[in-house]
């Protein structure tokens, strides 16, 4: 894994890390939930993610939750902490589960971030 990096979506920080081996970004789920639900409080976004995991499990979306990984990303206090992360494909599935007017713009942002990285590696 590469060094973690802050991406900006609509003025909000989304922690991410580039996986050189797989050639893909991994994004903090809590940061994405916070951006989609417009939550400035990380605790509220974490609680939302916790409840959403329960709902997804009840709906049988075990594959999405099983493939959710944890990586150490920099927290606000500067320490590295295990954080639930998803790649772009998983996030696109997750975004469908979060009722938000920001869902479609977020999908476009994800595509832009991916394309920028592809351009950088060329």
Question: CB 109: neighbour CB atoms within 10 A?
Answer: 17
For residue 75, count CB atoms less than 10 angstroms from its CB and return exposed for 0-12, middle for 13-18, buried for 19 or more.
middle
Q: How far is the C-alpha of 103 from the C-alpha of 82, rounded, in Å?
A: 25
Domain that holds residue 98: 4-121
Structural domains in the chain (count): 1
C-alpha separations of 4 from 17, 27, 44, 108, 112 in Å: 4, 9, 23, 21, 18
What is d(CA 34, CA 83) in angstroms, rounded to the nearest whole number? 14
Band (pLDDT 50/70/90 cuts) for residue 117 is: low
- Both tokens of 43, joined, read 């605790």
Q: What is the pLDDT of residues 62-114, one digit of tens each?
A: 777 777 889 999 988 889 999 999 998 899 888 888 888 888 888 888 888 87
For residue range 24-41, list pLDDT tens digits in order.
899 999 999 999 999 888
pTM: 0.84
């Amino acid at each position: 894994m590469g060094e973690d990096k802050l991406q900006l979506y609509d003025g909000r920080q989304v922690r991410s890390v580039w996986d050189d081996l797989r050639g893909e970004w991994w994004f903090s789920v809590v940061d994405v939930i916070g951006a989609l639900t417009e939550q400035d409080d990380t605790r509220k976004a974490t609680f939302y993610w916790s409840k959403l995991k329960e709902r997804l499990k009840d709906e049988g979306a075990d594959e999405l939750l099983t493939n959710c990984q944890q990586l150490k990303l920099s927290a606000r206090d500067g320490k590295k902490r295990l954080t639930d992360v998803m790649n772009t494909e998983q996030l696109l599935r997750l975004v469908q589960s979060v009722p938000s007017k920001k869902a479609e713009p977020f999908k476009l942002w994800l595509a832009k971030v991916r394309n920028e990285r592809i351009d950088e590696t060329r």
